[in-house]
Amino acid sequence: MSTKFKYAATLSLAATFITTLLSTGGSHAAAQSINAPVAIAATFISQPVVQPLANAQQDAPADSSEADASSLAELVAETDIPATLSNELECLAGAVFFEAKSESLAGQLAVGRVIVARANSGRFPSSYCGVVYQPSQFSFIRGHAMPAINRESRAWQTAVRIAQIADDGLWKSPVEGAMFFHATHVSPRWGKTRMAKVDGHIFYR
For domain 65-204, the question of CATH label 1.20.1250.20 is answered with: no
Are residues 88 and 127 in contact, defined by beta-carbon separation less than 8 angstroms?
A: yes
Cα(91)–Cα(133) distance, rounded to whole angstroms? 9
Domain ranges of the chain: 65-204
Provide the 3-class DSSP secondary structure of residue 189.
coil
Q: Which residues pair with 198 in a beta bridge?
A: 201
Provide the 3-class DSSP secondary structure of residue 180.
strand
**Tens-binned pLDDT, residue by residue, of the chain (205 aa):** 544 444 445 555 554 444 443 444 443 333 333 344 444 444 444 444 444 333 333 333 334 445 678 999 999 999 999 999 999 999 999 999 999 999 999 999 999 999 999 999 999 999 999 999 999 899 999 988 999 999 999 999 999 999 999 999 999 999 999 999 999 999 898 899 999 999 999 999 9
